[in-house]
Chains A and B, each alone.
Chain A
Protein backbone atom coordinates (compact mmCIF):
# COMPACT_ATOMS: atom_id res chain seq x y z
CA UNK A 1 0.00 0.00 0.00
CA UNK A 2 1.30 3.46 -0.87
CA UNK A 3 2.02 5.98 1.84
CA UNK A 4 -0.88 8.06 0.53
CA UNK A 5 -3.27 5.12 0.71
CA UNK A 6 -2.27 4.45 4.30
CA UNK A 7 -2.79 8.06 5.30
CA UNK A 8 -6.21 8.10 3.62
CA UNK A 9 -7.23 4.97 5.51
CA UNK A 10 -6.06 6.42 8.80
CA UNK A 11 -8.13 9.56 8.28
CA UNK A 12 -11.23 7.52 7.44
CA UNK A 13 -10.79 5.24 10.45
CA UNK A 14 -10.30 8.24 12.72
CA UNK A 15 -13.15 10.37 11.39
CA UNK A 16 -15.80 7.74 10.75
CA UNK A 17 -14.94 5.51 13.70
CA UNK A 18 -14.80 2.36 11.56
CA UNK A 19 -12.44 -0.64 11.63
CA UNK A 20 -9.51 -0.53 9.23
CA UNK A 21 -10.63 -3.85 7.75
CA UNK A 22 -13.85 -2.19 6.53
CA UNK A 23 -11.91 0.47 4.64
CA UNK A 24 -11.56 -1.42 1.36
CA UNK A 25 -11.03 0.35 -2.00
CA UNK A 26 -14.64 -0.39 -3.03
CA UNK A 27 -16.15 0.87 0.22
CA UNK A 28 -18.50 3.83 -0.25
CA UNK A 29 -18.32 6.52 2.43
CA UNK A 30 -22.09 6.86 2.63
CA UNK A 31 -23.36 3.38 1.77
CA UNK A 32 -20.76 1.23 3.50
CA UNK A 33 -19.00 3.35 6.11
CA UNK A 34 -21.98 5.18 7.63
CA UNK A 35 -21.00 8.71 6.63
CA UNK A 36 -23.64 11.39 6.15
CA UNK A 37 -23.19 14.42 3.88
CA UNK A 38 -21.40 16.43 6.56
CA UNK A 39 -19.03 13.56 7.32
CA UNK A 40 -18.13 13.46 3.63
CA UNK A 41 -17.43 17.19 3.56
CA UNK A 42 -15.22 16.73 6.61
CA UNK A 43 -13.30 13.87 4.99
CA UNK A 44 -12.54 15.93 1.90
CA UNK A 45 -11.39 18.76 4.13
CA UNK A 46 -9.13 16.44 6.10
CA UNK A 47 -7.61 15.15 2.85
CA UNK A 48 -6.97 18.76 1.80
CA UNK A 49 -5.29 19.49 5.11
CA UNK A 50 -3.21 16.29 5.22
CA UNK A 51 -1.96 16.57 1.64
CA UNK A 52 -1.92 20.36 1.52
CA UNK A 53 -4.00 20.63 -1.64
CA UNK A 54 -7.28 22.18 -2.60
CA UNK A 55 -9.91 19.85 -4.06
CA UNK A 56 -12.41 21.78 -6.22
CA UNK A 57 -16.08 21.03 -5.50
CA UNK A 58 -16.74 19.49 -8.91
CA UNK A 59 -13.94 17.00 -8.31
CA UNK A 60 -14.88 16.37 -4.68
CA UNK A 61 -18.30 15.24 -5.90
CA UNK A 62 -16.61 12.36 -7.71
CA UNK A 63 -14.86 11.09 -4.59
CA UNK A 64 -17.37 8.70 -3.07
CA UNK A 65 -15.31 5.63 -2.29
CA UNK A 66 -12.02 4.90 -0.55
CA UNK A 67 -10.45 3.88 -3.86
CA UNK A 68 -11.58 7.07 -5.61
CA UNK A 69 -10.03 9.14 -2.82
CA UNK A 70 -6.73 7.28 -2.99
CA UNK A 71 -6.56 7.52 -6.78
CA UNK A 72 -7.37 11.23 -6.79
CA UNK A 73 -4.81 11.99 -4.11
CA UNK A 74 -2.10 9.85 -5.69
CA UNK A 75 -2.62 11.77 -8.90
CA UNK A 76 -2.91 15.25 -7.42
CA UNK A 77 -1.09 15.40 -4.07
CA UNK A 78 2.41 16.81 -3.88
CA UNK A 79 2.20 18.58 -7.23
Chain B
Protein backbone atom coordinates (compact mmCIF):
# COMPACT_ATOMS: atom_id res chain seq x y z
CA UNK B 1 0.00 0.00 0.00
CA UNK B 2 1.07 3.59 -0.46
CA UNK B 3 1.53 5.64 2.63
CA UNK B 4 0.15 9.15 2.84
CA UNK B 5 2.68 11.93 3.35
CA UNK B 6 2.64 13.64 6.75
CA UNK B 7 3.60 17.26 7.37
CA UNK B 8 3.93 19.60 10.33
CA UNK B 9 1.51 22.53 10.22
CA UNK B 10 1.47 23.93 13.75
CA UNK B 11 3.73 24.30 16.77
CA UNK B 12 3.39 25.30 20.41
CA UNK B 13 6.05 25.46 23.12
CA UNK B 14 6.25 26.12 26.84
CA UNK B 15 9.83 25.78 28.02
CA UNK B 16 12.23 26.99 30.70
CA UNK B 17 13.63 29.43 28.11
CA UNK B 18 10.43 30.71 26.54
CA UNK B 19 6.68 30.35 26.88
CA UNK B 20 5.98 30.27 23.14
CA UNK B 21 7.74 28.98 20.03
CA UNK B 22 9.20 32.29 18.97
CA UNK B 23 10.77 33.16 22.35
CA UNK B 24 11.93 29.57 22.74
CA UNK B 25 13.72 29.69 19.39
CA UNK B 26 15.28 33.13 20.00
CA UNK B 27 16.75 31.89 23.27
CA UNK B 28 17.84 28.54 21.80
CA UNK B 29 19.73 30.31 19.03
CA UNK B 30 21.23 32.75 21.54
CA UNK B 31 22.40 29.99 23.89
CA UNK B 32 20.39 31.00 26.95
CA UNK B 33 20.25 28.70 30.00
CA UNK B 34 16.89 28.11 31.67
CA UNK B 35 18.36 26.82 34.94
CA UNK B 36 18.01 28.49 38.31
CA UNK B 37 17.32 27.78 41.98
CA UNK B 38 14.14 25.76 42.56
CA UNK B 39 11.22 28.05 43.46
CA UNK B 40 8.43 25.47 43.57
CA UNK B 41 9.33 24.01 46.95
CA UNK B 42 11.99 24.36 49.63
CA UNK B 43 14.86 22.34 48.21
CA UNK B 44 17.40 23.26 50.86
CA UNK B 45 17.75 19.67 52.08
CA UNK B 46 18.02 18.16 48.59
CA UNK B 47 21.29 17.19 46.93
CA UNK B 48 20.17 19.20 43.90
CA UNK B 49 18.62 22.60 44.58
CA UNK B 50 18.14 23.88 41.05
CA UNK B 51 16.16 22.99 37.95
CA UNK B 52 14.93 24.43 34.67
CA UNK B 53 11.47 25.68 35.67
CA UNK B 54 8.84 27.29 33.48
CA UNK B 55 8.78 30.99 34.35
CA UNK B 56 6.13 33.69 34.45
CA UNK B 57 3.23 31.52 33.30
CA UNK B 58 -0.26 32.63 34.34
CA UNK B 59 -2.33 29.54 33.62
CA UNK B 60 -5.55 31.47 34.20
CA UNK B 61 -4.89 33.44 31.01
CA UNK B 62 -5.58 30.15 29.23
CA UNK B 63 -7.88 28.21 31.54
CA UNK B 64 -10.48 29.60 33.98
CA UNK B 65 -9.47 29.07 37.60
CA UNK B 66 -12.25 26.64 38.47
CA UNK B 67 -11.27 24.39 35.55
CA UNK B 68 -7.53 24.77 36.04
CA UNK B 69 -7.69 23.57 39.63
CA UNK B 70 -9.03 20.22 38.39
CA UNK B 71 -5.91 19.72 36.26
CA UNK B 72 -2.40 18.81 37.25
CA UNK B 73 0.24 21.29 35.99
CA UNK B 74 1.37 18.78 33.34
CA UNK B 75 -2.15 18.86 31.85
CA UNK B 76 -2.36 22.66 32.12
CA UNK B 77 0.92 22.84 30.19
CA UNK B 78 -0.56 20.56 27.51
CA UNK B 79 -3.46 22.96 27.01
CA UNK B 80 -1.22 26.03 26.84
CA UNK B 81 0.92 24.58 24.04
CA UNK B 82 -1.92 22.90 22.17
CA UNK B 83 -3.76 26.24 22.04
CA UNK B 84 -0.69 27.84 20.47
CA UNK B 85 -0.27 25.00 17.96
CA UNK B 86 -3.93 24.86 16.92
CA UNK B 87 -3.87 28.62 16.37
CA UNK B 88 -0.54 28.46 14.55
CA UNK B 89 -1.93 25.77 12.23
CA UNK B 90 -4.91 27.99 11.40
CA UNK B 91 -7.26 25.07 12.00
CA UNK B 92 -10.91 25.85 11.52
CA UNK B 93 -12.61 23.52 13.98
CA UNK B 94 -15.95 24.06 12.23
CA UNK B 95 -14.79 22.69 8.89
CA UNK B 96 -12.38 19.82 9.64
CA UNK B 97 -13.57 16.23 10.04
CA UNK B 98 -13.39 15.92 13.83
CA UNK B 99 -13.83 12.14 13.70
CA UNK B 100 -10.52 11.98 11.84
CA UNK B 101 -8.75 14.37 14.19
CA UNK B 102 -6.84 12.68 17.01
CA UNK B 103 -4.72 13.48 20.03
CA UNK B 104 -1.72 11.32 20.86
CA UNK B 105 0.21 12.86 23.70
CA UNK B 106 3.26 11.83 25.70
CA UNK B 107 4.08 12.14 29.37
CA UNK B 108 6.70 10.22 31.28
CA UNK B 109 5.01 10.49 34.65
CA UNK B 110 1.71 12.39 34.54
CA UNK B 111 0.30 14.17 37.59
CA UNK B 112 3.16 13.76 40.03
CA UNK B 113 2.36 16.94 42.00
CA UNK B 114 -1.24 15.84 42.40
CA UNK B 115 -0.16 12.43 43.62
CA UNK B 116 2.23 13.94 46.14
CA UNK B 117 -0.24 16.48 47.47
CA UNK B 118 -2.99 13.95 47.95
CA UNK B 119 -0.82 11.36 49.65
CA UNK B 120 0.62 14.06 51.94
CA UNK B 121 -2.90 15.18 52.88
CA UNK B 122 -3.83 11.64 53.74
CA UNK B 123 -0.64 11.09 55.74
CA UNK B 124 -1.27 14.24 57.76
CA UNK B 125 -4.77 13.11 58.72
CA UNK B 126 -6.02 10.55 61.22
CA UNK B 127 -6.35 7.76 58.68
CA UNK B 128 -9.81 8.76 57.45
CA UNK B 129 -9.50 8.51 53.67
CA UNK B 130 -10.71 11.92 52.49
CA UNK B 131 -9.36 11.51 49.00
CA UNK B 132 -10.31 14.34 46.66
CA UNK B 133 -12.67 13.15 43.89
CA UNK B 134 -10.45 14.89 41.32
CA UNK B 135 -7.35 13.02 42.49
CA UNK B 136 -7.49 10.19 39.96
CA UNK B 137 -8.61 12.22 36.91
CA UNK B 138 -5.92 14.83 37.69
CA UNK B 139 -3.14 12.34 38.21
CA UNK B 140 -3.54 9.84 35.37
CA UNK B 141 -1.20 10.59 32.49
CA UNK B 142 -3.93 10.21 29.85
CA UNK B 143 -5.90 13.11 31.32
CA UNK B 144 -3.84 15.38 29.04
CA UNK B 145 -5.06 13.84 25.79
CA UNK B 146 -8.58 13.55 27.18
CA UNK B 147 -8.68 17.24 28.09
CA UNK B 148 -7.33 18.24 24.68
CA UNK B 149 -10.00 16.21 22.89
CA UNK B 150 -12.69 17.89 24.97
CA UNK B 151 -11.21 21.33 24.31
CA UNK B 152 -11.13 21.02 20.51
CA UNK B 153 -13.79 18.37 19.94
CA UNK B 154 -11.32 15.92 18.35
CA UNK B 155 -13.13 12.57 18.31
CA UNK B 156 -10.46 10.39 16.65
CA UNK B 157 -7.74 8.22 18.18
CA UNK B 158 -6.87 9.43 21.67
CA UNK B 159 -4.32 8.22 24.20
CA UNK B 160 -1.07 9.00 25.98
CA UNK B 161 2.20 7.15 25.47
CA UNK B 162 4.41 6.44 28.49
CA UNK B 163 8.02 5.58 27.70
CA UNK B 164 9.88 7.87 30.10
CA UNK B 165 12.01 10.38 28.22
CA UNK B 166 11.00 8.96 24.85
CA UNK B 167 7.25 9.46 25.50
CA UNK B 168 6.61 12.49 23.28
CA UNK B 169 8.56 11.00 20.38
CA UNK B 170 6.64 7.74 20.72
CA UNK B 171 3.45 9.78 20.60
CA UNK B 172 4.66 11.57 17.47
CA UNK B 173 5.56 8.32 15.70
CA UNK B 174 2.15 6.85 16.56
CA UNK B 175 0.38 9.94 15.22
CA UNK B 176 2.58 9.77 12.11
CA UNK B 177 1.58 6.14 11.58
CA UNK B 178 -2.17 6.75 11.97
CA UNK B 179 -2.01 9.62 9.50
CA UNK B 180 0.10 7.83 6.90
CA UNK B 181 -2.21 4.81 7.14
CA UNK B 182 -5.12 7.11 6.37
CA UNK B 183 -6.81 6.56 9.74
CA UNK B 184 -6.44 10.20 10.80
CA UNK B 185 -6.34 13.42 8.81
CA UNK B 186 -4.52 15.27 11.53
CA UNK B 187 -3.41 14.95 15.13
CA UNK B 188 -2.23 17.04 17.99
CA UNK B 189 0.86 15.33 19.30
CA UNK B 190 3.75 16.17 21.59
CA UNK B 191 4.11 15.90 25.32
CA UNK B 192 4.16 17.62 28.67
CA UNK B 193 5.84 17.10 32.01
CA UNK B 194 5.78 18.86 35.37
CA UNK B 195 8.05 16.84 37.63
CA UNK B 196 9.98 19.59 39.40
CA UNK B 197 8.51 18.45 42.70
CA UNK B 198 9.92 17.00 45.90
CA UNK B 199 9.37 13.44 44.68
CA UNK B 200 10.74 14.24 41.22
CA UNK B 201 13.95 15.90 42.37
CA UNK B 202 14.36 13.53 45.32
CA UNK B 203 13.74 10.47 43.18
CA UNK B 204 16.20 11.41 40.43
CA UNK B 205 18.70 12.46 43.12
CA UNK B 206 18.41 9.02 44.67
CA UNK B 207 19.37 7.55 41.29
CA UNK B 208 22.35 9.96 41.21
CA UNK B 209 21.04 11.05 37.83
CA UNK B 210 20.97 14.81 38.45
CA UNK B 211 23.76 17.36 38.35
CA UNK B 212 24.58 18.61 41.83
CA UNK B 213 26.38 21.76 40.71
CA UNK B 214 24.41 23.96 43.12
CA UNK B 215 26.91 26.81 42.97
CA UNK B 216 26.36 27.32 39.25
CA UNK B 217 22.97 26.11 38.01
CA UNK B 218 23.20 27.80 34.62
CA UNK B 219 26.40 25.92 33.71
CA UNK B 220 25.29 22.59 35.20
CA UNK B 221 23.78 21.09 32.03
CA UNK B 222 26.95 20.57 30.00
CA UNK B 223 26.49 17.65 27.61
CA UNK B 224 29.74 16.26 26.16
CA UNK B 225 31.89 18.34 28.53
CA UNK B 226 34.52 16.50 30.57
CA UNK B 227 33.01 17.71 33.86
CA UNK B 228 29.37 16.86 33.19
CA UNK B 229 27.82 15.40 36.32
CA UNK B 230 24.26 14.51 35.46
CA UNK B 231 21.17 16.03 33.90
CA UNK B 232 19.24 19.10 35.01
CA UNK B 233 15.54 18.47 35.47
CA UNK B 234 13.34 20.63 33.27
CA UNK B 235 9.60 20.99 32.80
CA UNK B 236 7.20 22.24 30.18
CA UNK B 237 5.53 21.04 27.01
CA UNK B 238 5.60 21.02 23.24
CA UNK B 239 2.75 20.52 20.78
CA UNK B 240 3.02 19.60 17.12
CA UNK B 241 0.17 19.45 14.64
CA UNK B 242 0.79 16.60 12.21
CA UNK B 243 -1.41 16.59 9.15
CA UNK B 244 -1.86 14.58 6.00
CA UNK B 245 -0.05 16.48 3.24
CA UNK B 246 -2.97 16.68 0.79
CA UNK B 247 -5.28 17.78 3.59
CA UNK B 248 -2.87 20.55 4.59
CA UNK B 249 -2.40 21.63 0.97
CA UNK B 250 -6.13 21.69 0.30
CA UNK B 251 -6.74 24.11 3.13
CA UNK B 252 -3.74 26.25 2.22
CA UNK B 253 -1.89 25.56 5.46
CA UNK B 254 1.61 26.77 6.20
CA UNK B 255 3.90 23.72 6.18
CA UNK B 256 7.02 23.64 8.36
CA UNK B 257 8.43 20.35 7.07
CA UNK B 258 7.60 16.76 6.31
CA UNK B 259 7.94 14.02 8.92
CA UNK B 260 9.60 11.33 6.82
CA UNK B 261 10.55 8.61 9.27
CA UNK B 262 10.26 7.25 12.76
CA UNK B 263 12.48 4.64 14.38
CA UNK B 264 11.89 2.64 17.53
CA UNK B 265 14.02 0.16 19.42
CA UNK B 266 14.74 -1.17 22.86
CA UNK B 267 18.08 -1.69 24.59
CA UNK B 268 16.87 -4.87 26.32
CA UNK B 269 19.76 -4.28 28.69
CA UNK B 270 19.16 -2.30 31.93
CA UNK B 271 16.29 -0.33 33.47
CA UNK B 272 18.26 2.92 33.86
CA UNK B 273 21.75 2.54 32.35
CA UNK B 274 22.24 2.95 28.59
CA UNK B 275 23.79 0.10 26.65
CA UNK B 276 27.56 0.78 26.82
CA UNK B 277 28.10 0.42 23.07
CA UNK B 278 24.88 2.21 22.29
CA UNK B 279 23.27 -0.85 20.70
CA UNK B 280 19.73 0.50 21.03
CA UNK B 281 20.80 3.97 19.90
CA UNK B 282 22.45 2.52 16.80
CA UNK B 283 19.44 0.43 15.87
CA UNK B 284 16.93 3.23 16.43
CA UNK B 285 18.75 5.69 14.16
CA UNK B 286 19.14 2.99 11.50
CA UNK B 287 15.47 2.13 11.82
CA UNK B 288 14.49 5.79 11.38
CA UNK B 289 16.73 6.18 8.30
CA UNK B 290 15.28 2.99 6.80
CA UNK B 291 11.75 4.16 7.47
CA UNK B 292 12.53 7.53 5.89
CA UNK B 293 14.21 5.82 2.93
CA UNK B 294 17.14 8.21 2.95
CA UNK B 295 20.90 7.56 3.14
CA UNK B 296 22.71 8.56 6.33
CA UNK B 297 24.56 11.21 4.29
CA UNK B 298 21.33 13.17 3.84
CA UNK B 299 21.17 14.17 7.52
CA UNK B 300 22.42 17.69 8.31
CA UNK B 301 21.62 17.96 11.99
CA UNK B 302 21.09 15.59 14.90
CA UNK B 303 19.39 16.94 17.99
CA UNK B 304 20.76 14.35 20.38
CA UNK B 305 19.27 12.97 23.53
CA UNK B 306 22.56 14.15 25.18
CA UNK B 307 21.39 14.61 28.75
CA UNK B 308 24.80 15.50 30.25
CA UNK B 309 25.21 12.22 32.11
CA UNK B 310 28.64 10.55 32.18
CA UNK B 311 27.55 7.32 30.44
CA UNK B 312 24.67 8.34 28.20
CA UNK B 313 26.55 10.99 26.23
CA UNK B 314 29.39 8.57 25.45
CA UNK B 315 27.21 5.77 24.14
CA UNK B 316 25.15 8.13 21.99
CA UNK B 317 28.25 9.69 20.40
CA UNK B 318 29.63 6.22 19.66
CA UNK B 319 26.32 5.25 18.13
CA UNK B 320 26.37 8.29 15.83
CA UNK B 321 29.84 7.35 14.57
CA UNK B 322 28.69 3.78 13.97
CA UNK B 323 25.58 4.76 12.04
CA UNK B 324 26.91 7.72 10.06
CA UNK B 325 30.53 6.70 9.42
CA UNK B 326 32.56 9.58 7.94
CA UNK B 327 29.41 11.63 7.54
CA UNK B 328 29.28 11.83 11.37
CA UNK B 329 32.06 14.43 11.09
CA UNK B 330 30.22 16.54 8.52
CA UNK B 331 26.85 16.89 10.18
CA UNK B 332 26.06 19.12 13.17
CA UNK B 333 25.18 17.64 16.53
CA UNK B 334 23.74 19.57 19.44
CA UNK B 335 22.04 18.96 22.75
CA UNK B 336 19.52 21.69 23.42
CA UNK B 337 19.12 20.15 26.90
CA UNK B 338 22.19 22.25 27.72
CA UNK B 339 19.69 25.16 27.71
CA UNK B 340 16.27 23.70 28.49
CA UNK B 341 17.31 20.99 30.92
CA UNK B 342 15.69 17.60 30.52
CA UNK B 343 11.92 17.80 30.04
CA UNK B 344 11.56 14.01 30.41
CA UNK B 345 8.38 12.93 28.62
CA UNK B 346 8.12 16.32 26.91
CA UNK B 347 11.74 16.36 25.72
CA UNK B 348 10.98 14.80 22.36
CA UNK B 349 8.36 17.43 21.63
CA UNK B 350 10.41 20.53 22.41
CA UNK B 351 13.44 19.01 20.70
CA UNK B 352 11.47 18.20 17.55
CA UNK B 353 10.44 21.85 17.58
CA UNK B 354 14.11 22.82 17.92
CA UNK B 355 14.82 20.72 14.79
CA UNK B 356 11.93 22.29 12.86
CA UNK B 357 13.02 25.82 13.79
CA UNK B 358 16.63 24.97 12.93
CA UNK B 359 15.39 23.99 9.45
CA UNK B 360 13.28 27.11 9.21
CA UNK B 361 16.26 29.35 10.00
CA UNK B 362 19.08 27.18 8.61
CA UNK B 363 20.71 27.61 12.00
CA UNK B 364 21.84 24.89 14.39
CA UNK B 365 21.24 25.81 18.04
CA UNK B 366 24.29 25.24 20.24
CA UNK B 367 25.33 22.85 22.98
CA UNK B 368 26.14 25.48 25.57
CA UNK B 369 28.40 25.18 28.62
CA UNK B 370 31.37 23.63 26.92
CA UNK B 371 34.48 24.31 28.97
CA UNK B 372 36.73 21.26 28.76
CA UNK B 373 37.12 18.67 26.02
CA UNK B 374 36.65 15.07 27.03
CA UNK B 375 38.93 12.53 25.34
CA UNK B 376 35.97 10.11 25.35
CA UNK B 377 34.61 11.98 22.33
CA UNK B 378 36.13 12.02 18.87
CA UNK B 379 37.26 15.64 18.29
CA UNK B 380 36.10 15.34 14.67
CA UNK B 381 32.48 15.34 15.86
CA UNK B 382 30.92 18.81 15.67
CA UNK B 383 28.81 19.26 18.81
CA UNK B 384 28.06 22.92 17.94
CA UNK B 385 29.65 24.00 21.18
CA UNK B 386 28.65 27.29 22.78
CA UNK B 387 27.40 29.26 19.77
CA UNK B 388 24.84 28.55 17.07
CA UNK B 389 26.13 27.69 13.58
CA UNK B 390 24.62 28.70 10.27
CA UNK B 391 24.29 25.93 7.69
CA UNK B 392 21.60 24.59 5.42
CA UNK B 393 19.47 22.25 7.50
CA UNK B 394 17.38 20.28 5.04
CA UNK B 395 17.09 17.10 7.10
CA UNK B 396 17.12 16.88 10.89
CA UNK B 397 16.97 13.88 13.18
CA UNK B 398 15.87 13.95 16.82
CA UNK B 399 16.88 11.22 19.28
CA UNK B 400 15.13 10.40 22.53
CA UNK B 401 16.01 7.58 24.92
CA UNK B 402 14.06 6.68 28.04
CA UNK B 403 14.59 4.77 31.27
CA UNK B 404 13.41 1.28 30.51
CA UNK B 405 15.68 1.21 27.46
CA UNK B 406 13.16 2.81 25.07
CA UNK B 407 14.69 4.55 22.05
CA UNK B 408 12.75 6.61 19.52
CA UNK B 409 13.99 8.83 16.69
CA UNK B 410 12.20 10.97 14.15
CA UNK B 411 13.45 12.54 10.93
CA UNK B 412 12.09 15.73 9.38
CA UNK B 413 12.85 17.03 5.88
CA UNK B 414 12.12 20.37 4.27
CA UNK B 415 9.25 19.98 1.87
CA UNK B 416 11.24 21.35 -1.07
CA UNK B 417 14.54 19.63 -0.22
Q: Do A and B come from one complex?
A: yes
Separation in Å of the A30 CB from the closest CB of chain B? Answer: 14
Q: Is A79 an interface residue (CB 8 A)?
A: no
Residues of B within 8 A of A45 (CB): 130, 132-133
**Cross-chain contact A38 with B130 (CB below 8 angstroms):** no
| Chain A positions 36 through 71: 1 when the CB is less than 8 Å from some CB of chain B, otherwise 0 | 001001100100110000100000000000000000
Q: Is A27 an interface residue (CB 8 A)?
A: no
| Chain B positions 57 through 78: 1 when the CB is less than 8 Å from some CB of chain A, otherwise 0 | 0000000111001000000000
Chain B: which residue is nearest A49 at the CB level? B130
A-B contact number at CB 8 A:
20
Chain B: which residue is nearest A17 at the CB level? B66
Residues of B within 8 A of A54 (CB): 128
CA distance A16 to B137 in the complex (A): 17
Residues of B within 8 A of A49 (CB): 130
CA distance A17 to B195 in the complex (A): 27
| Chain A positions 8 through 49: 1 when the CB is less than 8 Å from some CB of chain B, otherwise 0 | 000000011100000000000000001000100110010011
Q: Is B134 an interface residue (CB 8 A)?
A: yes
**Cross-chain contact B133 with A38 (CB below 8 angstroms):** yes
- Main SS class of interface, A: helix
Chain B: which residue is nearest A38 at the CB level? B133
**Cross-chain contact A42 with B133 (CB below 8 angstroms):** yes
CA distance A15 to B70 in the complex (A): 10
**Cross-chain contact B130 with A42 (CB below 8 angstroms):** no
Separation in Å of the A27 CB from the closest CB of chain B? Answer: 16
Separation in Å of the A33 CB from the closest CB of chain B? Answer: 10
CA distance A79 to B242 in the complex (A): 60
Residues of A within 8 A of B69 (CB): 17
How many residues on the B side are at the interface (Cβ–Cβ under 8 A)?
10
Residues of A within 8 A of B137 (CB): 38
Residues of B within 8 A of A42 (CB): 132-134
Residues of A within 8 A of B64 (CB): 17
Residues of B within 8 A of A34 (CB): 66
| Chain B positions 114 through 152: 1 when the CB is less than 8 Å from some CB of chain A, otherwise 0 | 000000000000001010111001000000000000000
**Cross-chain contact A38 with B65 (CB below 8 angstroms):** no
CA distance A1 to B69 in the complex (A): 28
Considering the complex, which residues of chain B in the window 130-189 have a beta carbon less than 8 Å from any beta carbon of chain A? 130, 132-134, 137
CA distance A67 to B125 in the complex (A): 28
**Cross-chain contact A41 with B65 (CB below 8 angstroms):** no
Separation in Å of the A37 CB from the closest CB of chain B? Answer: 8
CA distance A45 to B129 in the complex (A): 10
Residues of A within 8 A of B132 (CB): 42, 45
Residues of A within 8 A of B133 (CB): 38, 41-42, 45
Residues of B within 8 A of A41 (CB): 133
CA distance A75 to B66 in the complex (A): 30
Query: Looking at B65, B66, B134, which has the most chain A CB atoms within 10 Å of its CB?
Result: B66
Chain B: which residue is nearest A42 at the CB level? B133
Residues of B within 8 A of A38 (CB): 133-134, 137
CA distance A38 to B130 in the complex (A): 14
Query: Looking at B128, B133, B137, which has the most chain A CB atoms within 10 Å of its CB?
Result: B133
CA distance A17 to B66 in the complex (A): 5
Separation in Å of the B126 CB from the closest CB of chain A? Answer: 9
**Cross-chain contact B134 with A48 (CB below 8 angstroms):** no
Separation in Å of the B123 CB from the closest CB of chain A? Answer: 15
Interface contacts beyond A38-B137, A42-B133: sample of 18 additional A-B pairs, CB < 8 Å, sorted by A: A15-B66, A16-B66, A17-B64, A17-B65, A17-B66, A17-B69, A34-B66, A38-B133, A38-B134, A41-B133, A42-B132, A42-B134, A45-B130, A45-B132, A45-B133, A48-B130, A49-B130, A54-B128
Q: Which residues of B contact A (CB under 8 A)?
A: 64-66, 69, 128, 130, 132-134, 137
10 A-B interface contacts by CB (under 8 A):
A15-B66, A16-B66, A17-B65, A17-B66, A17-B69, A34-B66, A38-B133, A38-B137, A45-B132, A45-B133
